[in-house]
Structure 1
Amino acid sequence: MAWEVLSAIGTIAFAVSGAIVAMEEEYDIFGVYILGVVTAFGGGAIRNLLIGVPVSALWEQEMMFQLALASITIVFLFPHRLLGHWNRWGNFFDAIGLSAFAVQGAMYAVELELPIYAVIVAAILTGSGGGIIRDVFAGRKPLVFKAEIYAVWAAVAGLIISFEIIRIDLGLYILFLAITILRILSYTFKWRLPTRHIQSL
């Protein structure tokens, strides 16, 4: 049950995120749907490639595609004056998608009995892959490469799940909520990882 719920939450959140970014960049309706779908399923596709699962497995998720398309349609038809607040809520949807897919991706890797580092990579790629593709397609600097803490939270989720500390659905929901809150706190209070700048001579 947790698997399906987190998949649905992540799909909706990232589909909405991709659609909004596309409208901010003034894409036409076709571009909005393309970017929304790519954002929703891009992370899973990248994860499948790296852990040896056929990418074609994505096409079996008919319900998730329907959820993504419905979410994109609702956002596209939403009143423009309300969408103007996206800058306030955009990171919120992105945090939800990151958390849901990080937990789901780690669960998927554990189910395949992959080693710890593979579980962590699966969590990171599933959680942030769609966002990376979205930002690249939109000509933006991907959030994951900024100093602000982003993919680290996905790695934390992967690490926790890889040790199989959590064995019940309630624990997975709590982890999802915790990672979402940590991501929200990190951009609200601008928590950052150490950086080093190289100046040109």
Structure 2
Amino acid sequence: MAWEIFNIVGIAAFAISGAIVAMEEGYDFFGIYVLGLVTAFGGGIVRNLLIGVPIDSLWEEESLFLIALAAITITMLAPIFWMDHWKKWGSFFDAIGLAAFSIQRALYAVGMGHPLVAVIVAAVLTGIGGGVIRDVLAGRKPLVFRGEVYAVWAIVNGLAIGLEIVTQSWGLYLLFAVVILFRMISVVYQWRFPTGLFGAKG
């Protein structure tokens, strides 16, 4: 049940995040739907390619597509006051997607009997993949490459689940909430990794 819930939450959150970025960039309604769907499913596609899962398995997830489409539509029709807070809401839903997907795929990797490294890689790729593809398509430098404390939260989830520090459902939900909280704290207080260490300017 927890696995399914995190999958649904991640799909909806990243679909909303992609739609918000598309609206920020002035995309038309078609572009908003495309970027929302790519963000929602992009990380999973990258992960599937690496672990050998057929790409066409994505088309078997009709209910998830409907959830993503509904989330994008609701975002487009949201009250006008959202316009003044797109950046803030975008970061919030991105944090939800990051937390949900990294937990969900870490659980999947553990269930498949993969080693700790594979669990962490699955958590990171799925957690950040959709956001990276979203930012590239929107002509932005991906968050994970800007020095932001971003992928580290997916690593935390991978470690907590891979090392079986968190195993119960209530613990997973608590981990989910904690990761969102710290991700948003890192956004508000602009936590950054050092940049410019190799001659490039930060």
What is the TM-score of this pair, normalised by structure 1? 0.94
- What is the distance in 2 between the residues matched to 1:9 and 1:161? 18
Spell out the pairing of 1:1-201 with structure 2 (5 A cutoff). Answer: 1-195=1-195, 196-198=197-199
Does the CA-based 8 Å contact 2:15-2:72 persist in structure 1?
yes
State the shift of 1:173 in Å.
Answer: 0.7
Does the CA-based 8 Å contact 1:116-1:162 persist in structure 2?
yes
Does the CA-based 8 Å contact 1:143-1:150 persist in structure 2?
yes
Q: Which letter does structure 2 place at the counterpart of 1:187? A: V
**Residues 170 and 198 of structure 1: CA distance in aligned 2, closer, same or farther (over 3 Å):** same
For residue 191 of structure 1, give the secondary structure of its aligned residue in structure 2. coil
State the shift of 1:199 in Å.
Answer: 5.7
Structure 1, unpaired ranges of 5+: none
**Residues 199 and 12 of structure 1: CA distance in aligned 2, closer, same or farther (over 3 Å):** closer
- What is the distance in 1 between the residues matched to 2:200 and 2:109? 41
State the shift of 1:19 in Å.
Answer: 0.7
**Residues 133 and 199 of structure 1: CA distance in aligned 2, closer, same or farther (over 3 Å):** closer
Does the CA-based 8 Å contact 1:148-1:190 persist in structure 2?
yes
Does the CA-based 8 Å contact 2:24-2:86 persist in structure 1?
no
Does the CA-based 8 Å contact 1:12-1:67 persist in structure 2?
yes
Q: Which letter does structure 2 place at the counterpart of 1:52? A: G
Q: Which letter does structure 2 place at the counterpart of 1:9? A: V
- What is the distance in 1 between the residues matched to 2:200 and 2:8? 45
Structure 2, unpaired ranges of 5+: none
Q: Which letter does structure 2 place at the counterpart of 1:175? A: L
State the shift of 1:41 in Å.
Answer: 0.5
Q: Which letter does structure 2 place at the counterpart of 1:156? A: V
Q: Which letter does structure 1 place at the counterpart of 2:163? A: F
For residue 178 of structure 1, give the secondary structure of its aligned residue in structure 2. helix
What is the TM-score of this pair, normalised by structure 2? 0.94
Q: 1:120-176 CA distances to partner (integer Å, 9 max, x unpaired)?
A: 111011111000000000000000111110001101111111112222211111111
Moved more, 38-47 or 181-190: 181-190
**Aligned pairs, number:** 200
State the shift of 1:82 in Å.
Answer: 2.5
For residue 45 of structure 2, give the secondary structure of its aligned residue in structure 1. helix
What is the alpha-carbon root mean square deviation over aligned residues? 1.5
- What is the distance in 2 between the residues matched to 1:55 and 1:109? 18
